[in-house]
Amino acid sequence: HPMTAPSAAEGGLVFLEHCTACHGPTGQGDGEMVAQLTTLPPDFTDPAFARARSPRDLFTVITDGRIDNLMPPFGNSLSEAERWSLAAFVYSLSAPPAQLAAGQAVYAANCAACHGDAGQGDGPQASGLDPAPPDFTDPAALIAKTGQTWFTLVSGGDALHPFAALPEADRWAALDAVRAFSYAYADPADLQRERPGSVTGRIVNETGGGLIPPGLTVNLHSFEGQTLLGTLTTTAAADGAFAFPAVLYRPGRQFIVTGDYQNVTYGSEVGRFNAHGDPLAITLPVYEQTTDTGHLVVEEMHMFLEFSSATELTVGQLFVLGNTGDQTYAATRDHPLRFSLPAGATSLDVQNAVVDQDYFLSADGFAALWQVTPGSSQSQILFSYRLPYTGRLAFNQPLAYPVTTANLLLSDFGVRLSGPGLVDQGPQTFQGQSFQNFIGTGLPAGHALAFNLEGAAGTGATAPPGLSASQSANLSVGLGALALVLLGSGFYLYRRPARPARVATRDSLLDALAQLDDAYAAGEVAAADYAAERAELKAALQKVWKAKKA
């Protein structure tokens, strides 16, 4: 049982972050992912749902999930208190304020004499009763009782509760009021209401010995999902303090603070108001700059290999960069980010970049005028090029920076890929397209990514879904498809490296679903990518589930 009374308001915040995609913003089972589900979610606003389940029942489902209904478990991603509060919020959805007020009136007229005005079992007629009235405010008192159990009792189930003559609606309403004694009730409609709040914060220079920049302009951006709602601007004080005293928010709305320092834009962590509407405090970190690349690391290197014809290979590469130091790497023409290309590469295209402005060509590839702030996954660069293919190719690309993980996707199953340190992951399917998948790890700076391709191209070629052969040969379209595959589904390959269908288990797939839902709720994944990946995970889970039953 919960150690303290669960909070429906806190549970509502958890619900907004983790549950609305399937259960809908008001709990009616009408989330945007319902079309992808084989079993429809329940309508939490239907009183019959809550009355048939005890708090422990709800807590158990939240904790362990429902494999048969494709609901992931939250026992590892939510604290125990959050799960109890989420169960309390589910109860509140079927007991709006009017229902609760009606039940409180029935309770006061028929129950308070024994159970007390606050449900603590201390009413004026409680003395001498055997058994003594329970304390409904004790979190353990009602934890295993369903509403139906209590309804049977108050409907003449024993001599102490002769209320069968009361209208059925009154008895149910009174029991909703009794249930509300065991948790901190909040009107579920409050989740949809805007209210005023304040945001305060401070600029902190995270570089050792760095100073607070004077008079920095600070921007406060508000988001719901991935939609920018608006931006407020102010000027920080000499000590870096800033404040936005009049901010409209509602539970679940996200806020980010940004500011430009030395021509670099810095951003805060995502902030949300708590259930009580306390002032939201946000810290904006800034850093001094360096041209030393010694702290740079390629955390993820995604590589997409597709044959636009039997004699030409299009290569797309995405480098996700991190910075382990305490200074922002700010490239200059004398100290740029360097990327080598294999011999014979042509038709270089760097996404969202202009040659001789954002990058320039070099003898062995190109150099980018990028910035990488301290931290993990702080910057990325996506580019593509073409290589001639004659039935075999020795690929060799020197790496200027250490690479933690390299992920290679080959779209042609008629071509064989082999190379030192590359592990074959077997076929993978992302957004309807199948790939050969290889992974390499721990490639040091100065090392070359090397592998051999051999075989006739075109015998097993596939093109990204929705693209014709001629379109996929077009470099700009191919680059967009690469971004969709790698930044969408490829992201999940790396978050869940043990996801090949041949080794998938119910637990691993449910865990993947939970992580995917968390990422989508946090605004890290576009809706289209979320829908495609969730559908694939569910299909895999259904296969495993059916095989287990058989």
Q: Residue 135's Cα: distance from chain center in Å?
A: 40
Q: Are residues 524 and 487 in contact, defined by beta-carbon separation less than 8 angstroms?
A: no
Confidence of residue 513 (pLDDT cuts 50, 70, 90): confident
The residue-averaged pLDDT of 445-470 equals 69
pLDDT at 540: 65
pLDDT at 546: 54
Weakest-pLDDT range from 126-135, 428-437, 530-539: 530-539
**Digit-coded pLDDT (tens) for 363-372:** 999 999 999 9
Q: Are residues 478 and 469 in contact, defined by beta-carbon separation less than 8 angstroms?
A: no
Q: Are residues 304 and 485 in contact, defined by beta-carbon separation less than 8 angstroms?
A: yes
Return the C-alpha torsion angle 536, 540, 543, 549, nearest 10.
-130
**Digit-coded pLDDT (tens) for 380-433:** 898 999 999 999 999 999 999 999 999 999 988 999 999 999 999 888 776 567
pLDDT at 485: 39
Residue 378: pLDDT over 80: yes
User: Bridge partners of 259?
Assistant: 218, 266
pLDDT at 404: 95
User: Bridge partners of 530?
Assistant: none
What is the three-class DSSP state of 84? helix
Residue 353: pLDDT over 60: yes
Looking at residue 372, what DSSP letter applies?
A: E
pLDDT at 37: 80
The residue-averaged pLDDT of 72-92 equals 93
Whose structure tokens read 């319902």?
Answer: 34
Of 351 and 186, the one with more pLDDT: 186
Quote the Cα angle for 341-345-347, to 5°.
115
Q: Are residues 87 and 55 in contact, defined by beta-carbon separation less than 8 angstroms?
A: yes
Of 112 and 522, the one with more pLDDT: 112
Q: What is the mean pLDDT of the chain?
A: 85
The residue-averaged pLDDT of 79-83 equals 94
Question: What is the bridge-based pairing of β-strands 280-286 and 289-290?
Answer: unpaired
Question: What is the bridge-based pairing of β-strands 195-205 and 280-286?
Answer: parallel
Q: Which residue, among 116, 123, 103, has the nearest Cα to 167 in the 3D structure?
A: 103
Rounded distance between C-alpha atoms, residue 384 and residue 380, angstroms: 14
**Digit-coded pLDDT (tens) for 325-336:** 999 999 999 999
pLDDT at 521: 66
The residue-averaged pLDDT of 39-51 equals 93
User: Bridge partners of 301?
Assistant: 319, 406
pLDDT at 476: 33
